[in-house]
Structure 1
Amino acid sequence: MTTAPERARDDVSLRESIPPVRQWAKTFVVGLFMGTADGVPGVSGGTIALIAGVYERLIAAITAVTPGRFVDGVRALTPLDGGVSLDRAAAVLEEVDGWFLIALIGGVATAVVLVGQAVEWADEHYPVLMFGLFFGLIGASAVILLREVAIRTLPEAVAAVAGVAVAFVASGYSEALLSGSGFLVIFVAGAIAVSAMILPGLSGSLLLVILGQYTFMYDRLGAFVDAVGALLTGGPLSRVTGPGVDVVTFICGGLVGLFTIARVIRKALDVNREVTYAFLVALVLGALRAPITTLSDPVEYPSVVWNTATIQAFAGAAVVGAVFVFVLDWYAVDIDLDAV
């Protein structure tokens, strides 16, 4: 399933379009790795897609999804246009490499839920170690990306300075200004974070940290998963609706971002790759402030006091995170931005 279909067929049947289970499983596992990477700041799911050899296919599939094809798929599944036709729906899926996207997104979603449970637990019991780990992941990612970007012209330098400034300032104020501020903020956060998934080196979770939405959204996701589990054992539906609305709002924003903001970023890369990447990479560097600022919030983390023991624990976890990213980079592939 990591190989794209040669072409879409109008006469394809549903049975013919469904790939073998082994291909499904392979793509699902790639999605698991991508989701795990995107679940922590500093590691990019796009990088994992590049390593796994599905990056170009992912971009092609995303750009193949258009409003017209979406409407065609909906019509095929409703009685409004000649009756329900699973074969016509299958033909649309084949045009957008839909089975590949379904398996990949399924793996990503599964991993995000599992990572969310781990993040929620670590945030409650070991916040200093968790954010120290994130600091190391972000810092090492910045070093690797800076190695691939050469600042040669004034526009590139201006873009880099702007990227650092935007991330640095946003990291200092977003937690107080945006955290839990309503559906619009959640929707925009989803759009921005998910659109970053297609860019090697830029982590969607990192952008959530900058926006002050990282721990908030994982708390809501954890509450939603717990409420659904309780509902299946006879719990009240009212527990599901609150966090469920937040999760659905984030997903809707993510879908909009994936098919709009992601296209804008791709267009910017086509127009001026060097300037665009200088800005995006600089965002990672400026975001180093985010873990420290978040952890220093007396409202969210009243028990955290910056003393010698805290600094040592934070620094030790940061080293572990940095080593992990450097090892991944050493044994995987160098990020070739020119090939993106």
Structure 2
Amino acid sequence: MWEWRNIYRGMLMGASDVVPGVSGGTIAVVLGIYDRLIEAVNGFFSKEWKTHLKFLLPLGIGVVIAIGLMANLIEWLFEHYPGPTQFFFLGLIIGVLPYLVHKGDVKHKFKWNHYLLLLLGAGLVASMALFQTTESDVMQNLTMSDYLLLFFSGWIASSAMILPGISGSFILLIIGVYTTITSAISDFRIDIIAVVGVGILCGIVVMSKIVKFFLENYTSGTFAIIIGLVIGSVFVIFPGVPDSATLMVISVLAFIFGLLAAWLLGRVEYK
């Protein structure tokens, strides 16, 4: 049976992947489909590929729709209301932590080494806030080396996207190709979209196999790292304290709305 409900789930994931600092993997956790997503990507290359295709195709359609239609909206929000927008996603990210703690059964299964892994994961992502993210101009007159850069940028970014807490868009910012790729989407540059798209697919396939292996064989340790990655992303996306009372009120409301969105999505999906 085709899971057409995944179209809206994919739209939420795609919209989040446009935002530097927010991970589509985090949204997958909020929606309660992270484990299924990893299973479906791996199962697509098995005899049961038709079953997994019915899960993945609607999800992919939603992601493409969101990236194509919502990229401009997200860009507009960040241009005119950067602080409140980041506080909304901050609330969304923090809102997923109780589910992760419950899913990983932290209270009963975590030992000192798991907390160490959690701290390492948080430190890894939080340190990304120190990276230089000044964007270069849109790449013109692309050479073969430029296409290779775009391919491996897509590969690396998608590997990050599938991990909760690590933003693929932020990785693209660090590499310096974020503007080139978003402009290619807006201008419908088929060559760039195709090269980056193939890189993204390769990265998702490889990283999903790695995540599946560790979830099956080192469950508590994997959840410890994932929780750490999500906590670390809070430091990356935190925009700082608003500099006016009005902006403070708007930002707090946006943060609360983000928390509520995570809670509501969780209640709807887990039913």
Q: Give the TM-score of the pair, scaled to structure 1.
A: 0.60
Is 1:157 aligned to residue 115 of structure 2?
yes
Q: Distance in 2 between matches of 1:317 and 1:106?
A: 32
Q: CA RMSD in A?
A: 4.1
Match for 1:275 among 221, 233, 236?
221
Is 1:227 aligned to residue 187 of structure 2?
yes
Q: Match for residue 171 of structure 1?
A: 129
Q: Give the 3 Å change call, closer, same or farther, for CA 33–212 of structure 1 in structure 2.
A: closer
Q: Give the 3 Å change call, closer, same or farther, for CA 315–193 of structure 1 in structure 2.
A: farther
Q: Which runs of 5+ in 2 are unaligned?
A: 140-145
**1:109-148 aligned within 5 A:** 109-142=64-97, 144-146=99-101, 148=103
Deviations 1:37-67 (A, max 9, x none): 554526734236536xx963x444421344x
Match for 1:191 among 155, 175, 197?
155
Q: Give the 3 Å change call, closer, same or farther, for CA 209–139 of structure 1 in structure 2.
A: farther
Q: Distance in 2 between matches of 1:307 and 1:103?
A: 39
2:122·2:228 contact (CA, 8 Å) conserved in 1?
yes
Q: Match for residue 253 of structure 1?
A: 199
Q: Give the 3 Å change call, closer, same or farther, for CA 255–42 of structure 1 in structure 2.
A: closer
User: Relative CO higher for 1 or 2, CA cutoff 8 Å, sep ≥ 6?
Assistant: 2
Q: Distance in 2 between matches of 1:314 and 1:34?
A: 27
Q: Distance in 2 between matches of 1:210 and 1:225?
A: 17
| Identical residues among aligned pairs (%) | 19
Q: Distance in 2 between matches of 1:134 and 1:147?
A: 21
SS at match of 2:96: helix
Which stretch of the first structure deviates more once superposed, 275-284 or 323-332?
323-332
Is 1:325 aligned to residue 271 of structure 2?
no
**1:1-340 aligned within 5 A:** 1-2=1-2, 26-40=5-19, 41=22, 44-47=26-29, 50=32, 56=36, 58-66=37-45, 95=50, 97-98=52-53, 100-142=55-97, 144-146=99-101, 148-149=103-104, 150=106, 152-175=110-133, 187-188=151-152, 190-195=154-159, 202=164, 206-209=167-170, 212=173, 217=178, 219-228=179-188, 240=189, 244-245=191-192, 247-292=193-238, 308-309=243-244, 313=247, 316-330=250-264, 332-333=266-267
Q: Distance in 2 between matches of 1:330 and 1:175?
A: 33
1:37·1:45 contact (CA, 8 Å) conserved in 2?
yes
Q: Distance in 1 between matches of 2:65 and 2:226?
A: 27
1:32·1:110 contact (CA, 8 Å) conserved in 2?
yes
Q: Distance in 2 between matches of 1:257 and 1:118?
A: 27
1:198·1:262 contact (CA, 8 Å) conserved in 2?
yes
Q: Give the 3 Å change call, closer, same or farther, for CA 184–65 of structure 1 in structure 2.
A: same
Which structure has the larger Rg over C-alpha atoms?
A: 1
| 1:153 CA drift (Å) | 1.1
Deviations 1:272-294 (A, max 9, x none): 111111111111111222124xx
| 1:193 CA drift (Å) | 4.5
| 1:28 CA drift (Å) | 3.5
Q: Give the TM-score of the pair, scaled to structure 2.
A: 0.72
1:35·1:45 contact (CA, 8 Å) conserved in 2?
no
| 1:109 CA drift (Å) | 0.8
